[in-house]
Structures are given as structure tokens and as C-alpha cells.
Structure 1
Amino acid sequence: MKHVLITGANGYIGQALARAVAKRLAAKEIQSLTLVDLAFEEQSYHYEPGLRCISGDLSDETVLQAALTPVPDTVFHLASVTSRLAEENFALGLRVNIAGTVSLFEHLRQQEQCPVVVYASSIGVFGTPLPQQVDDNTPVAPTLSYGTQKRMVELLLADYSRRGFLDSRSVRLPTVVARPMTAETALSSFASSLIHALAAGSTYECPIGPQGWIWLLSLPSCVQHLLTTASIETVRLPEGRVWNLPAQRLQVADLVQAAKSRYGRGADAGLRFQSNPQFDRQFAQWPPLTTAIATQLGMQHDGDVKTLIEQALVS
């Protein structure tokens, strides 16, 4: 890994990943880091030689050409329209999640360097209703546009790799916590808002009940898994080049109890439950999860609910 490109670098996961890779740049472990997103906040990153922030849409040829100079040997493709927006604006989801992604892959193919491409897919590919157990071989049947688009890209990436154009790895992210409460762009963001509200003892109306089952992974653990994924030797990759990232399967009540133990009995004083049938179907009925491939590759979830909460709230 010498020349790294991160798309969606100003997003929730993208910012954390960019900070981690920027440390490697500062330590001269890599030679260049290119960050691309629609816009960046001022002084988002400390200046380092070899660090570039490119603001613009990847569907813009000028932006894409700039992003691919120097030619990257490692690409983390995080740029996407999230679940809420993809459902509300179908055309936007297609343009960003499919057309923009295909354009990126085609430009990488034409550079004839076969870079490592780490693609942030989603457990949204499974859809509903879910089987009694989910593992790496569970058939996918997405029931939201976002999951459908993610699955389309998984298949396309596998074909690019089969033909030797790219060295791809698609990892299916569970709900990653804890997003800022002002950033509920994903339908699953309620879990992040719940954790923030419990930590602050503030008012929050949770759209699923206390008995709802969810899969959670902290942001620091997610970033580490993405970096690990990029470093895996090609010969160790599974057939299909796609796997589920590990996650803790927890009930909402488990989060509440852990927060009360950590922040005091009043942590849930402002918590109310207002069950939403759509959320119950899509986000509150996750069955037991087995992630054999991730385990074999050295990836684990946060360990226990207390550690998850502490990791999730690391600033």
C-alpha cells in the first residue's frame, strides 16, 4: 500500500478511515493519500506532503481524473447514497451507487494497474424476512433499493477480479456506531442516536422496542477491519470475494442496561419507545450471525456490550 484513494472520505466512516491512513502517511509508511467527497470542512485534516482533498462528484470526469492521479494501488470505495436517501430518491441512488461506481471501476481498469479495491457493502443485501441464522453463505434477497444496489456492485466487482482488472474485496458492514445524532442519513442510524441519548441521559424516541435484535460494530473496529481487508493476501480471499464483518447481536434492552451501568440509573430517563412497523421488519429482527470468513482472517467484533458502547463513543 503506497498510493491510497478513499472515496466518500468526508462521511462518517470515511473520516475515521482517512484519519487512520493519514497517520500512516505522516509516518512515511505510504507515499500519497487522496481523499474525495462532495465537500470537505475547512481544515478537516492537518497538512501532510502527499495528502490531497478533492471536492466534487465522482461522476464528473475532471474530478475522477484528478482522484486517480497518482494512480492508486489501494482504493477504499465508501462513497454512496445511504439507505434513507436511496429509498427516497431512486434516481439519485442509481446515479451515485451504480453509475458513479461503475465509472470509477472503469477508469481503474483502464489504468491497467489491478489495484486492491475494498468495497463497503452492507448487510442490507439480505433483505427481509430473514432466516433463522445468517452466515457467509446465506442467500441474499434485498428488499430495499440500497441493498439491491450494494449486491449489484458486489457481483460486478467479483467479475472485474475474475478478469484480472481489479483485486477486489467486498465486506458487508453491519450497523456501525455511533454516528453523530445530526447525521441520521441511514435508516439504521437510530442505533447511534440511541447510544448518544443514553450516554447523555437525553430525550429520545426509539423506533423499535426493547426486545428488538440488532447487529452492531463500533466505528474504531470497523476502520481496523477495512484496513485489515486491504492487506489480506489475494490467495487468502474467499470465493466470490465477499464476506460479512463480525458484529454483536444485541437486544435494545441490552444497550439500555449497559448504559445504565456505565452512566447511572437515569441514563434512560428520557427514553421512549414508539415502535415503527417498517423498522421492526427491517432492523429489529436480526437472527444469530456467524462470520467464519472474517474470523479466519483475524477479524472480531467489540467483545461485549460495555466495550462496544465505550468504543462507539470514542471521539
Structure 2
Amino acid sequence: MSPEATDEDVAAVVARVEGVGGRANVSKGLERTVIGLVGDITSFHHLNLRTLRGVADVHRISDPFKLVNRQHHPERSTVWVGRPGRQVPVGPGTFTLVAGPCAVETAAQTLEAARMARSAGATLLRGGAFKPRTSPYAFAGLGVPALRILADVGEATGLPVVTEVVDVRDVDVVAEHADMLQVGTRHMSDVGLLQAVGDAGLPVLLERGATATVEEWLMAAEHVAQRGNLDIVLCEGGIRTFESATRRTLDLSAVPVVQACSHLPVVVDPSHAVGRKELVVPLSRAAVAVGADGLVVDVHPDPETALCDGPQALVDTELRELAQAVRRFPPLVGRVPATPTRRDP
């Protein structure tokens, strides 16, 4: 309240809050009175408290995300991906490598990339069937045929499949072929899509938008969680800054920041953040060091002919370095490589 607020002004605020079922705790100091509100935040939004006489300002001190908040879920969550009886954990205590081609081009290319990923220590296969591209002339993915290829390759290699869905209309068909639904950076703010993947009954990999704050990212996760699905893995893939040396700036500070306020697992995608294969392994090591729960990395058997993001795809030397890093570094921070585990229903 303002220093000039009267007892009547304070009483009017209290009455307004109590009128919607809230509780108002009045604290009077020598020069200023503060009223703390407890109750349904949604109902308080409609009170227009700033317009009441004597009110100087209104500040929210609680986090707007409730279901993904660590306040109400102090233990960090593990998300299990795959078919019942053979699932891969993503979460505290383990370190999960998700790898595969940025885009599915052919069955042979996808199978070879999956074998490369598995040899590097990957336990989840990623691959793009629908590719949202900046240019309308760029390769946008094979669509449903790519989903069939991914499902077949996943079955052949034993790797659960993670793939992006970009349209609400495609959620059902993608869910038929995948083990985890990915919402990419371009669609983090698509509320309809978030709700649809939340209803699909599969784990969700939610990428941070290139211009999203941590709170906006967590609020996107809240939209998924509100549909009854808390099997959400957050993915930091870089944010847009003034720096042009890399595609985006990988915000590794977001990993411990998010883990402090949310119970959801957090993985890092250095491939799409920097767009340069020679930087992927160093940043992967750094991601392990700051406490990431896993990595999402692009691999391709022939990056020079790749139809999508070839310059960032690992092969040969870089892939061997990644495999070594995934073996050596997680144990140094108290983690073990994630492996498929038989879980009872």
C-alpha cells in the first residue's frame, strides 16, 4: 500500500480479497503496510487490485507453474521412455544419450545412423520425420513414411524412438510410431499442440524456444502437465543472442537454474545450438559438468550429403570422442549411463 493509504483503504482491499475466497494477511510497518494474499491466484487476477485507492503496486511472489514446480514435488523426477518391460530412464542418477539423424532420408541412412548412435552409447534414437524449416524450399522431411522407417529401425536396433510433432493434426499418427513426442523450439509456445501431446499418453521432450525465458519454458511444460502428463523432459538447445559465431548461444546456466525450481529432467542439445560439429563434443562435456540429465546429438553416416543440418552431424573422429566422453564424464559427477531396464507395471 502507499504511505498515504488509510485504514479504510486497507479494509477495502481485504474485503475484495475475502470476497473471492482468499485470505489477506496485513503487516503494518512504520511507514508502509503490506498485504499478503493467500488463495487461488486465478481469482486474484480478476480483482484489478492496482485500481483500488491506496494500492501502490502488486507483486507476485509465488511461481506461476504449479505442477512442474519443485516446491510441491521436492524429489527430482525420472521419465521412462519405451515399451513396458524395456524402458530407458531420463533423470537424476543416470545420463541418457539421445542420438540419430536430424532428418530421416532413407531407410538405409536411418539404420546406419541408428547403429552409429548405439555404438556411441545412445539408448534413445532421435530422427526427424516432419522438419519445420526457415526456408520453404528446404527439405521438410518425408512425413508419415519417415515415421514408418523410424519405427522399423527402432525395432531392429532396440532403441526407443523420439521424433518431433509440428502440427496438432499429426499427433495421433506420430504417437502410433514413436515412444516419445518432441515439441521443437519453434513450437514451444503452441498451446494447442502442447495440450494435444499432453493428451497423447507418451513422454514429451520439450525444447526451449529460442527467445523464451526459463519461466516461459516452464509454463509451456505446465500446459502439458495440466493434461495429466508429467512425463516431460526439458531440452536446452540454445537461445538467440547478439552473438553470430554460432547458430544460437547454448545457455548451460539454464540447466542448474531449472533443476533448482523444477523436478523435471533437463537434457542439452549442443548440435542444434551451435550448428558446428567441432563444438558438439566440448559442449557435451560441459553439459555433463553442469548436471544435465542427458544429451541430444545429431549423427549421420555421410554428413556431406545430408539433406538437413549436415555441418553439425557427428561421424568418425567426433563420434568416437563423443562415445568416450559419454563413458568417462558422467561417472565423475555421480551418474551412470542409462540402459534399458525391465520395469514392473
Q: TM-score, normalized by length of structure 2?
A: 0.31
Q: Over alpha carbons, which structure has the higher Rg?
A: 2
**Which has the bigger relative contact order, CA under 8 A and spacing at least 6?**
2
Greater helix share, structure number: 1
If the length of structure 1 is used for normalisation, what is the TM-score? Answer: 0.33
